Structure 1
């Protein structure tokens, strides 16, 4: 069995090592992980993604080397710490059954579960039925998701791999994941003195019209997936202008477009271009440009018949007395390494289930329930035992 106390301790140690992205990045976590894994007697391979940024991998050989492998994918980076904390973001404090810190749920707790599994297999001398493979990636929290891309580029994955990312899902089975397209929209107008504003073309005002009309256009889309729900649109960043009394000639917005089948990322781009074109034509001396920000991320869904989904369901039933919830409030919003791998390879055996909820991820006073670590430990061991 997996030792939950060890999983908790590893989560706390990982929280104490800052790996913010953007920020200090993952090198210190990778160094600690390598020491932890070699301390178990495992051979750790490093796979360079960028100078100073390596993915790590370890393999515990199974009894049947030709059987589909259980592949666990965890990322080492977190979002920046940010403000508003009432607890030490690197402290790993436990209060009332909740473990706090940046990355507590996204996803140092899930990563620690994989360490607990490896430790239990080694310490008990258990030979798993098939290979158990763990990848630890960089850059999951960034637009490009370079770590997942490099896993595929390096040929480290097999077509029949059964992939689980123990990302925060509220311990629900995230069988589907929304597609995502990030875009940078730039509007160019004409600068003028605010006292003579009629001589200029206000790029900020034009942007405001585009954003409002995009919100309405997304709300009017007829698609409503049975698990993923409806498409979603967010303007995350708007910048522009040089002074209060100057008509701005330039305004830039970063857009987050979440899509569901049958939409693909190109449909989101087309919608932004269509709405922007319609608004721009109402103004003289105005233009716009749309640029992709980060990786193309289509909607993905694991097959109900895949080995990983069947194993998750049966193992969850065995340890919790019920099958896992599918989707739900925490079940599909984030785009993970698991989804990126599925998008790049076409895999229908790549999914998510892990401790913590996306409601807590990326927030001040981020936390993971210790009870999720207890359930996750039992679940992973049962999966390997019955694989």
Structure 2
């Protein structure tokens, strides 16, 4: 069995190693993980992604080397710490059954579960039925998701790999993940004195008009996925203008477009282009440009018949006495390394189930329930033993 106290201690140690992105990044966390695994006698490989930023991999050979591998993918980076904390964000404090800290749920506790599995396999001398492979990636929290891209580029994955990211899902099975496209929209107008505003073309007003029409267009889309729900539109960042009394000639906005089947990222881009073009035609001297931001992220869904999904359901039933919940507030809106791998390779054997809830991810006083680590430890051990 996986020792829960070891998982808790490793989670606390990982929380204490800042790996914010943007920020100090993952090098110190990677060094600690490598040292921890080498201390178990395991061979750890480094796979360069960017200078000073390496993915890690470790393999425990199984009894049947030709069987589909169980592949566990965990990212080492976290979002920045931010403000508003009432607990030490690097302290790993446990209060009333909740373990606090930046990355507590997203996803240093899930990462610690995989270390706990490797520790248990080594310490008990257990040979798993098939290879158990753990990848530890960089840059999951950034637009480009460079670590997942590099895993695929390096050819480290096999077509029949069964992939699980123990990301925060409220211990629900995240069989589907919503797609998204990030876009930078730039609107150009004509500068003028605010006292003579009619002589200019206000880029901010044009942009505001585009935003209103885009919001209405997304609300009017007829698609409502049984798990993912409806498409969503958010303007996350707006910047521009030079002074209160100057008609702005240049304004930019960063857009977050969440999509569900049958939409693909290109459909979202087309919607923005169509609406922006229609709006700027109504303003003399206005124009716009669009630039894609970050990786292309289509919606993905694992197959109900995949070995990983069937295995998780069976192990959950064996351990908890019921099958895992699917759907609900468990982060289908998020995009993980599991989803990116599915998008890049086309696999339908890549999914998410892990400790902590996405409602806590990226927040002040982020926490993971210790009970999730207990259930996750039992679930992961049963999954391997029954593989």
TM-score normalised by length of structure 1: 0.99
Partner Cα separation in structure 2 for residue 194 and residue 88 of structure 1: 48
Partner Cα separation in structure 1 for residue 272 and residue 331 of structure 2: 27
Instruction: Please report how far the alpha carbon of residue 205 of structure 1 lies from its aligned counterpart in structure 2 after TM superposition.
Output: 1.0
Q: Does the Cα contact within 8 Å between 1:19 and 1:29 map onto a contact in 2?
A: yes
| Two-structure CA RMSD over aligned residues (Å) | 0.5
Counterpart position of 2:311: 311
Residues 75-90 of structure 1 mapped to structure 2, 5 A cutoff: 75-90=75-90
Q: Which runs of 5+ in 1 are unaligned?
A: none
Partner Cα separation in structure 2 for residue 32 and residue 108 of structure 1: 13
SS of residue matched to 2:294? coil
Counterpart position of 1:45: 45
Counterpart position of 1:19: 19
Counterpart position of 2:55: 55
SS of residue matched to 1:214? helix
Counterpart position of 1:281: 281
1:203 aligns with 2:203: yes
SS of residue matched to 2:14? helix
Counterpart position of 1:142: 142
Counterpart position of 1:7: 7
Instruction: Please report how far the alpha carbon of residue 184 of structure 1 lies from its aligned counterpart in structure 2 after TM superposition.
Output: 0.4
Which deviates more, 238-247 or 340-349?
238-247
Residues 1-387 of structure 1 mapped to structure 2, 5 A cutoff: 1-387=1-387
- Residues 164-196 of structure 1, C-alpha deviations (whole Å, 9 max, x = no match): 000000000000000110000000011111111
Partner Cα separation in structure 2 for residue 139 and residue 56 of structure 1: 13
Partner Cα separation in structure 2 for residue 327 and residue 55 of structure 1: 30
Instruction: Please report how far the alpha carbon of residue 224 of structure 1 lies from its aligned counterpart in structure 2 after TM superposition.
Output: 0.3
- Residues 237-276 of structure 1, C-alpha deviations (whole Å, 9 max, x = no match): 0001111111111110000001000000000000000111
Instruction: Please report how far the alpha carbon of residue 75 of structure 1 lies from its aligned counterpart in structure 2 after TM superposition.
Output: 0.2
Which deviates more, 105-114 or 200-209?
200-209
Q: Does the Cα contact within 8 Å between 1:172 and 1:331 map onto a contact in 2?
A: no
Partner Cα separation in structure 2 for residue 7 and residue 179 of structure 1: 32
Partner Cα separation in structure 1 for residue 138 and residue 264 of structure 2: 26
Instruction: Please report how far the alpha carbon of residue 158 of structure 1 lies from its aligned counterpart in structure 2 after TM superposition.
Output: 0.2
Partner Cα separation in structure 2 for residue 82 and residue 247 of structure 1: 34
Q: Does the Cα contact within 8 Å between 1:105 and 1:360 map onto a contact in 2?
A: yes
- Matched pairs, number: 387
Partner Cα separation in structure 2 for residue 331 and residue 309 of structure 1: 17
Partner Cα separation in structure 2 for residue 266 and residue 369 of structure 1: 39
- Residues 6-26 of structure 1, C-alpha deviations (whole Å, 9 max, x = no match): 000000110111101001000
SS of residue matched to 1:9? helix
SS of residue matched to 2:234? strand
Partner Cα separation in structure 2 for residue 211 and residue 29 of structure 1: 40
Partner Cα separation in structure 2 for residue 358 and residue 209 of structure 1: 32
Partner Cα separation in structure 2 for residue 365 and residue 32 of structure 1: 24
Provide runs of 4+ in structure 1 moved above 6 Å.
Answer: none
Q: Does the Cα contact within 8 Å between 1:173 and 1:331 map onto a contact in 2?
A: no
- Residues 319-355 of structure 1, C-alpha deviations (whole Å, 9 max, x = no match): 0000000121114111000000000000000000000
SS of residue matched to 2:296? coil
Partner Cα separation in structure 1 for residue 43 and residue 359 of structure 2: 36
SS of residue matched to 2:263? coil
Q: Which runs of 5+ in 2 are unaligned?
A: none
Partner Cα separation in structure 1 for residue 19 and residue 65 of structure 2: 34
TM-score normalised by length of structure 2: 0.99
SS of residue matched to 1:296? strand
Instruction: Please report how far the alpha carbon of residue 30 of structure 1 lies from its aligned counterpart in structure 2 after TM superposition.
Output: 0.3
Partner Cα separation in structure 2 for residue 327 and residue 291 of structure 1: 33
- Residues 116-142 of structure 1, C-alpha deviations (whole Å, 9 max, x = no match): 000000000000000000000000000
